[in-house]
Amino acid sequence: MKKLILMPCALCLVIFSISQPDRWQQRVRYTMNVDVNVQTNRFTGKQRLEYWNNSPDTLTRVFYHLYWNAFQPNSMMDNRSRRQGTIVLRQGRNGNDIVDWDQRVRDRIQNLKPEECGYQKILSLKMNGRSQKFKIEETILEVELDKPILPRSKVSFDMEFESQVPLQIRRSGRDNPTTKVRYSMSQWYPKMCEYDYEGWHPTPYVAREFYGVWGDFDVTISIDKSYILAATGYLQNPNQVGYGYESKGTTVNRPTGAKLTWHFIAPNVHDFVWAADPEFVHVSRKLKDSLIVHVFYKPTNATAQQWEALLDMAQKALPFIEKTFGTYPYKQYSFIHGGDGGMEYPMATLIMGPGAAIHEWMHSWYYGLLGTNESMYPWMDEGFTQYAEARVTAFLNNSAAFPYQDEYGGYYNVARSGKEEPLSTHADHYNTNFAYGSAAYSKGAVFMEQLGYVVGAQVRDKILLEYYRLWRYKHPNAQDFINVAEKVSNMKLDWYKEFWISSTKTIDYAIDSLWEENGKTNIRIKDIGLIPMPVDLQLTFKDSTKELHYVPLDLMYGAKPSEDSIPRKVYEPWHWTSATYTVQTTRKLTDIVVAEIDPSQRMADINRKDNRLELKW
Ligand SMILES: [Zn+2]
């Protein structure tokens, strides 16, 4: 017989103290002036970029993103999308092939006419007043510097550029046929690539995921007077602009002339978005002293009531969100009708309809504040956001049902499909959009809920807040998250990262057998899968009482605290190399009516059928 240890619940009172991580990061300050011609859909721009090289490295070249060059026939994005269209995922109900392409992109780029393409042309580029040599490789601008940027020094780049707004294909662009929104202006300016401890990240724009340098934006946009703008940041001339931005009781006096100039500033963000339409309806509400939420919409593909209900949603959700995920620190947030689905930006989102609002808002945490390199860790961006969305939605609906059913379902689906790739895959390198989506969104969300199974839900919630406190305004990676989780939980979790993130191995535990011996009942649990996990085994007896038998995993070097009031026995750790483990109860075998591994269903067991055994006597 194995020795039983009763673990006191006071284990949850682990005291931790973690200091701020010390990692250098680059810094930018953009000052941009753009002048938009709404007839030609082109604009000219001047950009001053102050760039702080806080690294210990000497930089001999720099890179910028020129995202809109992707919206031209035969671009890398076009080629990639059309190749995805040749990958058959499965047969549809009517016998047609279901292919792997993004329905929004498909082969549309190939069919763009010259006036519908996007482009970003660099007219001139200077560093500290001296002209610089540069070359453009489609969506990446590479600048050979005439003098290197020394460690811990600052330079200024001055650029003149000209852009044409593409017809809306993916995320940004003009004249989306469904929303009828004229301008969705994301990825719209030449944007410095990030340089970090891994070097430069000049990732060609082929599909998805972004990474930017932390800094401040000062953006001035001149556009036809009839247009109403929504943007990242704080409008500096609200009483001159009006359109719902003006202070109460102000008479708006717009300057004469055909155009109106909008001036926004945005502190401590890593991107800047804006949108414009002459028919935007603008409503807003103060949610707390330091925060106004705005909604900009056209009643085209959703009603005015549906859009304006977002203000009530935001008001109800904000206290719960801040308590669970951390404070929203900016003074404004805007839900903006635009784009082609839902896409997150600092202090704003472009959404096609109100249904995408909660997910995109939650990106203010996992993207906006915790600025992970999404190409490398898309699951920390999309997965954590998906998790937060499900949790906030359950709160809003006052639902007691398990909120992550869809996320677990999506994960099981890809895990059984044979197309799964590890979460450590670069976002652009997944073989299929299907595998990327299931991994980044579903398996990434499961990572977080399943972490609650491993360390205990309350401990996981402390991890969320500590992760936010330590890593906001920075670029956390997977190991940074694990480090926080280990310190808060006082457990080793490297194995969880290795198995769940770096492999496609799966979890499968089963109830093997039950037998009575010497007045005790033995329950043998079997590990069939390739990912070891701690095991919660719950016994339900004829008299409706329950017992929880908890077997920690040896690799954890710890045990989770009790999560509820069910009497719990804590066992010696399960050595991960062992195929079976036997627990015991003093109750008779014929008293047991149900034996179930993980009744909470948070452990993503690929075959749950053998987790539960109902006994009929
Ligand atoms: Zn998302």
Residue 133, amino acid: K
CA 585 to ligand 1 center in whole angstroms: 46
CA 442 to ligand 1 center in whole angstroms: 11
Angstrom distance (rounded) from CA 120 to CA 135: 13
User: What is the reported pLDDT for 545?
Assistant: 98
CA 380 to ligand 1 center in whole angstroms: 10
CA 208 to ligand 1 center in whole angstroms: 11
CA 342 to ligand 1 center in whole angstroms: 7
User: What is the reported pLDDT for 21?
Assistant: 74
Q: What is the mean pLDDT of the chain?
A: 96
pLDDT averaged over consecutive 10-residue blocks of the chain (617 residues)? 44 54 93 98 98 98 98 98 95 92 95 98 98 98 98 98 98 96 98 98 95 98 98 97 95 94 98 98 96 97 97 98 98 97 97 98 98 98 98 97 97 97 98 97 98 98 98 98 98 98 98 97 98 98 98 98 96 98 98 98 97 95
Residues counted in the chain:
617
**Is-contact 385 371, C-beta < 8 A?**
no
CA 187 to ligand 1 center in whole angstroms: 16
**Backbone dihedral angles phi then psi of residue 62, each to the nearest 5 degrees:** -135, 160
Angstrom distance (rounded) from CA 444 to CA 453: 15
User: What is the reported pLDDT for 13?
Assistant: 43
Run of H or E including 261: strand 259-269
CA 282 to ligand 1 center in whole angstroms: 24
Residue 562, amino acid: S
CA 250 to ligand 1 center in whole angstroms: 38
CA 77 to ligand 1 center in whole angstroms: 20
Sign of CA pseudo-dihedral 487, 490, 492, 496: negative
CA 324 to ligand 1 center in whole angstroms: 18
CA 296 to ligand 1 center in whole angstroms: 20
Burial of residue 411, with CB atoms counted within 10 A of its CB: 0-12 exposed, 13-18 middle, 19 or more buried? buried
Angstrom distance (rounded) from CA 296 to CA 385: 23
pTM of the model: 0.95
**Is-contact 422 429, C-beta < 8 A?**
no
Residue 111, phi-psi category: left (phi > 0), alpha (psi -120 to 50), beta (remainder): alpha
Per-residue DSSP letter, 109: G
E strands, 195-258, are: 195-196, 199-200, 215-224, 228-231, 234-235
CA 407 to ligand 1 center in whole angstroms: 13
Of 617, 566, 567, 615, nearest in space to 594 by CA = 615
CA 365 to ligand 1 center in whole angstroms: 11
- Chain centre distance of CA 468: 14
CA 103 to ligand 1 center in whole angstroms: 17
CA 421 to ligand 1 center in whole angstroms: 19
Sign of CA pseudo-dihedral 235, 241, 243, 245: positive
User: What is the reported pLDDT for 5?
Assistant: 45
CA 339 to ligand 1 center in whole angstroms: 13
CA 435 to ligand 1 center in whole angstroms: 16
Of 295, 440, 436, 439, nearest in space to 366 by CA = 440
CA 381 to ligand 1 center in whole angstroms: 7
CA 345 to ligand 1 center in whole angstroms: 10
CA 382 to ligand 1 center in whole angstroms: 5
**Is-contact 144 138, C-beta < 8 A?**
no
- Chain centre distance of CA 80: 23
CA 329 to ligand 1 center in whole angstroms: 20
Angstrom distance (rounded) from CA 261 to CA 530: 60
Of 201, 333, 198, 319, nearest in space to 269 by CA = 333
CA 472 to ligand 1 center in whole angstroms: 18
Residue 320, phi-psi category: left (phi > 0), alpha (psi -120 to 50), beta (remainder): alpha
Of 454, 514, 510, nearest in space to 486 by CA = 454
Of 230, 337, 243, 232, nearest in space to 275 by CA = 230
591 three-state secondary structure:
helix
Angstrom distance (rounded) from CA 294 to CA 297: 10
CA 527 to ligand 1 center in whole angstroms: 34
CA 133 to ligand 1 center in whole angstroms: 37
Q: To which residue do tokens 């999506």 refer?
A: 410
Half-sphere exposure of 419 (CA within 13 A, CB side): 20
CA 384 to ligand 1 center in whole angstroms: 9
CA 413 to ligand 1 center in whole angstroms: 20
CA 358 to ligand 1 center in whole angstroms: 10
Q: Rg of the Cα trace of the chain?
A: 27
Angstrom distance (rounded) from CA 500 to CA 302: 39
